[in-house]
Homo-oligomer: A and B are copies of this chain.
Amino acid sequence: MNKKLGEHTYLLESPPFIAASAAIGGAKEGEGPLARDFDMIVSDDKMGKRSWDLAESAFLKTAVEIALKKAGLEAGDIDCALAGDLQNQCAAAHYGMREMAMPFFGLYGACSTMTESLSVGSLLMSGGGFSHIVCGTSSHFCSAEKQFRNPLEYGGQRAPSAQWTVTGSGAAVLSCEGTGPRVTHVTIGKIVDKGIKDLNNMGAAMAPAALDTVTAHFRDTGFTPSDYDLILTGDLGTVGSSILCELSAKNGYDISSVHNDCGMMIYSDEQDAHAGGSGCGCCASVLCGHIMKELERGVYKRIMVMATGALMNPTTVQQGESIPSVAHAVTIERG
């Protein structure tokens, strides 16, 4: 069963186990500082497929397959898959999952999708009836650039606040019994829009949503930043992270000593990613790779993971609209 705490947060009275997870990265991710914690690095950005779009589907499918194998499960054991991605109509997830014959709910939370899937999955599992749920998402630099910005061949200059869409995927298997880290709390985010219209500054657009969710989480639970060994945002990058830390401190919750951001972790300064990594696959691959391994290695005991998503599309921005955002947070405790 689940129990509501305060306004946005749910205590999972039967906290699901993260039985296994898997992360796949592309060539650039394989040259970054987290390379050794990926389960697979794919140097061919088409992964043998005839388009980047289909390659992204293959990334997700492979991440799910590896996670299932590590959990000792087969596709038929999964009660429900929860996935989504940045491609129009979430096509990467649909084509990636179509051969797996699992009951499937599609989610869309832009770059917040990984923690959205963990949130929905954990709430469903704690509510009874579900034994195994797989949560996953993906992004691909090439499929995202051509869809959201410019053809790659155009070679457009990138602003200093711009982020680099991660080519990667992550998947996690939730199980109602077993061992491993457990998802204990979920804080569901609201849509927040502070009027940012710059498609090259996603960090600034998303930071207010992260602030709203992290503040709600502390208010609802009574936790403070010192209750966490790590507060990990998805892809605020350097610009959004500094905004979040500054405003959170003003709200009475100084998270700066425990905060890190997947977008700031996945590439080194030399990799020319400007404000950091982004995309659904950023939080997914860093969480399902490096962070889950750090939990295993005993580096952390309790962490919060909060991916953030920018909820515009190119048409709405061309029509002059600002960028709504959302952030969902899950608390994960080492088993």
**What residues on B are CB-neighbors of A109 within 8 Å?**
105-106
**Which of the segments A21-29, A85-93, A161-169, A292-300 contacts the partner chain?**
A85-93
| Residue A250 is within 8 A (CB to CB) of chain B in the complex | no
B127 touches A105 (CB 8 A): no
**What residues on B are CB-neighbors of A311 within 8 Å?**
89-91, 94, 98, 106
Given A79-B4, A191-B94, do A313 and B87 touch, yes or no (CB 8 Å)? yes
| Residue A251 is within 8 A (CB to CB) of chain B in the complex | no
Within the complex, the shortest CB–CB distance from A149 to chain B, in Å, comes to 14
- Taking a contact as CB atoms closer than 8 A, the residue among B79, B97, B108 that contacts A90 in the complex is B108
- Taking a contact as CB atoms closer than 8 A, the residue among B54, B101, B128 that contacts A3 in the complex is B128
Within the complex, the shortest CB–CB distance from A260 to chain B, in Å, comes to 25
CA distance A75 to B100 in the complex (A): 39
| Residue A326 is within 8 A (CB to CB) of chain B in the complex | yes
**What residues on B are CB-neighbors of A4 within 8 Å?**
79, 129-131
**What residues on B are CB-neighbors of A312 within 8 Å?**
89, 91, 94
| Residue A218 is within 8 A (CB to CB) of chain B in the complex | no
| Residue A102 is within 8 A (CB to CB) of chain B in the complex | yes
| Residue A226 is within 8 A (CB to CB) of chain B in the complex | no
Please name the residue on chain B nearest to A314 by beta carbon.
Answer: B88
A54 touches B319 (CB 8 A): yes
| Residue A53 is within 8 A (CB to CB) of chain B in the complex | yes
**What residues on B are CB-neighbors of A192 within 8 Å?**
98
Please name the residue on chain B nearest to A94 by beta carbon.
Answer: B311
**What residues on B are CB-neighbors of A107 within 8 Å?**
105-108
| Residue A74 is within 8 A (CB to CB) of chain B in the complex | no
A10 touches B129 (CB 8 A): yes
**Which one of A8, A87, A316 has the highest number of Cβ atoms from chain B below 10 Å of its Cβ?**
A316
A98 touches B193 (CB 8 A): yes
Within the complex, the shortest CB–CB distance from A199 to chain B, in Å, comes to 12
- Taking a contact as CB atoms closer than 8 A, the residue among B79, B84, B188, B319 that contacts A53 in the complex is B319
Within the complex, the shortest CB–CB distance from A146 to chain B, in Å, comes to 9
B128 touches A95 (CB 8 A): no
How would residues 219 to 240 of chain A score, 1 for a CB under 8 Å from any chain B CB and 0 otherwise?
Answer: 0000000000000000000000
A102 touches B190 (CB 8 A): yes
Please name the residue on chain B nearest to A125 by beta carbon.
Answer: B127
How would residues 1 to 35 of chain A score, 1 for a CB under 8 Å from any chain B CB and 0 otherwise?
Answer: 11110001011010000000000000000000000
A-B contact pairs, 18 of them (CB 8 A): A2-B127, A11-B129, A13-B128, A51-B319, A53-B316, A54-B319, A54-B321, A86-B89, A88-B89, A89-B311, A90-B108, A91-B315, A94-B324, A98-B191, A103-B188, A103-B190, A104-B191, A123-B127
Binding site for B on A (CB under 8 A): 1-4, 8, 10-11, 13, 50-51, 53-54, 79-80, 84, 86-91, 94-95, 97-98, 100-110, 116, 119-120, 123-124, 126-131, 147, 188-193, 311-316, 319, 321, 324, 326, 328
